[in-house]
Amino acid sequence: MLMKGLGCVVILLGLVSFTNFADAGYKLQKSGQELTELRSQGGNTVAEAYYQEVGRSQIGQGSAAYGMAMLTFMISIGWGGSMIATKKESKL
């Protein structure tokens, strides 16, 4: 019974991690998109080019955060699922 409970906790924590990473990825990609769309009135400036590159970097970091969200969720599903499906109880 203890292993099944721990398995449920692992899956729940994986879901919480997934939502946190996914939220971070969304915010990074959104702010990165806004930075890449900045345009100055007078034409290309060094600051404009800098912010566009920072924006592209944030979009990449957002994609990495989405990847981490999926990775942590899949690991927690596998680990928690194996704890739930176990037949033998361990002595903790």
Report which of 66, 81, 75 is spatially closest to residue 19, judged by C-alpha positions. 66
The token pair that represents 44 in the structure block: 């290309």
Q: How confident is the model at residue 17 (pLDDT cuts 50, 70, 90)?
A: very high
Q: Which residues, including other chains, have CB under 8 Å from residue 62's CB and lie 6 or more apart?
A: 24, 25, 26, 27, 28, 29, 30, 32
Q: What is the largest CA-CA distance in the chain?
A: 71
pTM score of the predicted model = 0.76
Per-residue model confidence as pLDDT tens digits over 35-82:
888 877 776 788 888 888 999 999 999 999 999 999 999 999 999 999
